[in-house]
Homo-oligomer: A and B are copies of this chain.
Amino acid sequence: MQLRPEQILNDHQLRRTAVRLAVLRIFLEADEALSQSYLEQQFEQVDRITLYRTLRTFEQKGVIHRALDGTDTPKYALCAGECNEHAHHDHHAHFHCDDCGRTYCLEEMVAPRFHAPRGFRVDEAHMVLTGVCKECLEGVSP
């Protein structure tokens, strides 16, 4: 995985702008999937449309992926690598904590192969786990 924001932009042929670098820095420091509104709050002043387009571009270009977590608030996380504008390769599970509302990527947990039912052709499989995260579990038993 690339570690520096500048290199991530280079690798995906994206212009090096202030907003993009700042967004990437936030993602790199976070260990969870982030919503657009959360990102907005990290800035003193930023245009929500610019943020919207930044996320859309990042997703299209394979910089970030959407973390499906069962809520109605889309969350995003950095792609591990290999993803580009043609294809995403992040098929790991995502975990949503019902207690704190955080969403985590479970990179190590990959959806098993499923045989297609009813004559369908299955191209991708995503798993969404819900429960209580480690921090919240430890918090309730002091």
Task: Label chain A's interface by main secondary structure.
Answer: strand
Shortest CB-to-CB span from A121 to chain B, Å, is 5
1/0 per position for A78-122, CB-CB distance to B under 8 A?
000000000000000101011000001010110110101111111
Contact check, A120 vs B98: say whether CB atoms are below 8 A apart. Answer: no
Q: From the candidates B123, B131, B132, name the one contacting A130 in the complex (CB within 8 A).
A: B123
A116 and B117 alpha carbons, distance in the complex (Å)? 27
A68, CB-defined interface residue at 8 Å: yes
Contact check, B70 vs A126: say whether CB atoms are below 8 A apart. Answer: yes
B-side contacts of A120, CB under 8 Å: 95, 97, 104, 129, 131-134, 137
B-side contacts of A74, CB under 8 Å: 72
Contact check, A125 vs B124: say whether CB atoms are below 8 A apart. Answer: no
B-side contacts of A98, CB under 8 Å: 123
A51, CB-defined interface residue at 8 Å: no
Known: A72-B72, A109-B114. 5 other contacts (CB 8 A): A104-B118, A119-B133, A119-B134, A123-B130, A125-B130
